[in-house]
Amino acid sequence: MTKVELNRDAIIDTAIALADADGLDAVSMRRIAERMGVGAMSLYRHIAHKDELLAAMTDAVAGRYPYPAPEGQGWNWRDRVRIAAEIDWALYQRHPWVLLAFATPRYSFGPQSLACLGWLVEGLRELNVSTREATTMAFTVWNYISGATLPQVSTALMRRNDTNPDGDNGLRDLLSGAQKDRAPDALRELVGSGAEDLTPEDLLHIGLSALCDGFEVRAARRADV
């Protein structure tokens, strides 16, 4: 085992690599020390405890996927929502565990995440809403992105636990016309209609477009009051 330089950044990078490979449950000071070729107690000179480590891991990963500078781009607020979704989608595909970390309040708002929040709020303020309202909208966008990405993340995590999540399900069977049971009346028109437009990434952007439509209507109503 190759011994590496022991410092805070190296510990965080090693922990992220462990989480990427085996999930958050695999991250422990002992496992990190083994991978780095050092004694476990030596890690505590740089990181006090696992909570601090998880917060640092989450912020470090967020820093690898920053929202880009808007200067000179000519983006509007909808563009920023789309770009945030594309970046977060890529982040969650590469680091599935971070979706779980972001869902935990104590790990979710380090400096990098706050910078991303400010970037998104700045765009949403174009709707002539207050900073607080724009922040609520930003949280709603992030919540939707997280929810839309969850099936993909769950699939990745299950594969790493030697579980096969692939295969058909009731909806796919219905859309392909291969369902075994009678379709609910409200879904009869969908039988055999195909699922080409129901890919996870397509659904992500369809839902965000509808969400943005709602933001626009809500903002206009408030302006009329």
Q: What is the pLDDT of residue 183?
A: 82
Give the pLDDT of residue 1.
46
Contacts 24+ apart (CB under 8 A), 80-84: 80/119, 80/120, 80/122, 80/123, 80/124, 81/120, 81/123, 81/124, 81/141, 81/208, 81/211, 81/212, 82/205, 82/208, 84/116, 84/119, 84/120, 84/141, 84/142, 84/145
Expressed as residue numbers, the domain containing 43 is 8-48
pLDDT of residue 87: 96
Identify whether residues 35 and 98 lie together within a single domain.
Answer: no
Residues 129 and 22 in one domain: no
Averaged confidence pLDDT in the chain: 87
Q: Are residues 105 and 212 in the same domain?
A: yes
Same domain assignment for residues 39 and 120: no
CATH number at 25 reads 1.10.10.60
**Is residue 216 in some structural domain?**
yes
Would you say residue 62 lies in a domain? no
> pTM (2 decimals)?
0.83
% of the chain surpassing 70 pLDDT:
89
In this structure, is residue 2 part of a structural domain?
no
Q: Are residues 94 and 136 in the same domain?
A: yes
**Do 29 and 132 have their domain in common?**
no
In this structure, the answer to whether residues 86 and 163 fall within a common structural domain is yes
Per-residue pLDDT of 117-147, as tens digits, reads 999 999 999 999 999 999 999 999 999 999 9
Mean pLDDT by 10 residues, the chain (225 residues): 76 95 90 93 92 94 94 94 96 90 83 94 96 96 92 69 63 78 83 75 91 94 72
